[in-house]
C-alpha cells in the first residue's frame, strides 16, 4: 500500500472561493506531481517538484499554484475557483534511483458550482 494521501477526497465549492488540495507522502520521495484528469480521459501534468523549494509548471496551463516547503508535503492552491476547474486532481510521488515507479494518491474530485 502506497503511503501517499490526498485530502479532501471530494469537494464541492462555490465559484470564486480559494481552495487548497492537500497531498502528503511518507516515503521520503523527492519528486512529486499534480495531474488533472477528467473522467476516462488523459492525465494532464499541471505541476511538479524535484524537491524542497523546487516547483515547475507542467504541460497543461493551470491557474493553480503549488509549494514545496517540506519533502513530504505538496499542496495545490486555487486562488479563485471556477466551474472550469471541476475535475479530478491526482497527486503522485517518485523516489530517485533505479526503482522509479510513481505512487498515486486516491485523488480529489473537485466540483465548482
Site residues, another protein (CB under 8 A):
31, 33, 35, 40-43, 45, 48, 50, 58-59, 90, 92, 94, 100-107
3-state secondary structure the chain: CCCEEEECCEEEECCCCCEEEEEEECCCCCEEEEEEECCCCCCEEEEEEEECCEEEECCCCCCEEECCCECCECCEEECCCCHHHCEEEEEEEECCCCCCCEEECCCEEEEEC
Least separation in angstroms between CB 104 and another protein? 4
Least separation in angstroms between CB 80 and another protein? 27
Q: Which is nearer to another protein, 16 or 23 (CB)?
A: 23
Least separation in angstroms between CB 56 and another protein? 8
Q: Which is nearer to another protein, 13 or 43 (CB)?
A: 43
Least separation in angstroms between CB 45 and another protein? 6
Count of beta carbons in the 10 Å neighbourhood of residue 44: 17
Q: Which is nearer to another protein, 8 or 16 (CB)?
A: 8
Q: Which is nearer to another protein, 15 or 100 (CB)?
A: 100
Pairwise CA distance, residues 108 & 66, whole Å: 15
Amino acid at each position: 500500500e502506497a503511503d501517499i494521501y490526498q485530502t479532501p477526497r471530494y469537494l464541492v465549492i462555490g465559484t470564486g472561493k480559494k481552495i487548497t488540495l492537500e497531498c502528503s507522502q511518507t516515503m521520503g520521495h523527492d519528486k512529486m506531481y499534480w495531474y488533472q484528469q477528467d473522467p476516462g480521459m488523459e492525465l494532464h501534468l499541471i505541476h511538479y517538484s524535484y524537491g524542497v523549494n523546487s516547483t515547475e509548471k507542467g504541460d497543461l496551463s493551470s491557474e493553480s499554484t503549488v509549494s514545496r516547503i517540506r519533502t513530504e508535503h505538496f499542496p495545490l492552491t486555487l486562488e479563485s475557483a471556477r466551474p472550469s476547474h471541476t475535475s479530478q486532481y491526482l497527486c503522485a510521488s517518485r523516489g530517485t534511483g533505479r526503482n522509479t515507479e510513481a505512487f498515486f494518491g486516491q485523488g480529489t474530485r473537485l466540483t465548482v458550482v
